[in-house]
Amino acid sequence: MDMQNNDFKYVIQDTNCVYFGKELTYAEMMDKDDVPFKFKAVISAHIARDTDLNRKIADHILQMSDKEFSYRIYQQLKLTIRVCYKIQKKGFGGKTKDKWIHKAYSFRQFCDEYRAQVLKGDMMIEDFSISKLALMVLSI
């Protein structure tokens, strides 16, 4: 029996944002009912020009050039990338413990400062979110 791990293939919405798991491909987003229709339209009209729809959103963002139209689309959608990384912290008695830090960065800040750290393996992407308000005002 072929079982697939779907822990990181999710779409969650709250009143402000739509959150996407890091393992979702664009094709899977197009098939999900809980992805906003307007974002599906953006994917098919614009993002599909820059990349294959069977590619994961995380892989696309990690390899994306700032010259691509998708880069500007994600800036307009106020894409936020949540990452985590491990640091060593000294506790009482001089013992060191590993502590996980979770932070969210804007798309531009992530691309400028942190993308290289993710590519090296020092950080991990947790998920992505887009602003519903930015999606609403974006014209296709």
Question: What local confidence, expressed as pLDDT, does residue 104 receive?
Answer: 96
Domains of the chain: 11-83+103-109+125-137 (3.30.465)
Q: pLDDT band at residue 5, thresholds of 50, 70 and 90?
A: low
Span 83-111, average pLDDT: 90
> What Cα–Cα distance (Å) separates residue 10 from each residue in 38, 114, 120, 134?
18, 24, 25, 21
Span 43-63, average pLDDT: 92
Span 86-108, average pLDDT: 89
Q: Would you list the DSSP string of the chain?
A: ------TT--EEE-SSEEEEETT-BHHHHHH-TTS-HHHHHHIIIIIHHHS-TTSBHHHHHHH--TTSHHHHHHHHTT-EEEEEEEEEEE-GGG-EEEEEEEEEEEHHHIIIIIHHHHHHTSSEEEEEEEEHHHHHH---
Question: What local confidence, expressed as pLDDT, does residue 4 receive?
Answer: 59
For 62-94, write each residue's pLDDT tens digit: 999 989 999 999 999 999 999 999 998 887 777
pLDDT above 90: percentage of residues in the chain: 79
> 71 in the Ramachandran plot: left (φ > 0), alpha (ψ -120 to 50) or beta?
alpha
User: How far is it, in rounded angstroms, from Cα 136 to Cα 129?
Assistant: 14
The partner residues of 105 in beta bridges, in order of sequence, read 81
Q: pLDDT band at residue 1, thresholds of 50, 70 and 90?
A: very low
For 17-31, write each residue's pLDDT tens digit: 999 999 999 999 999
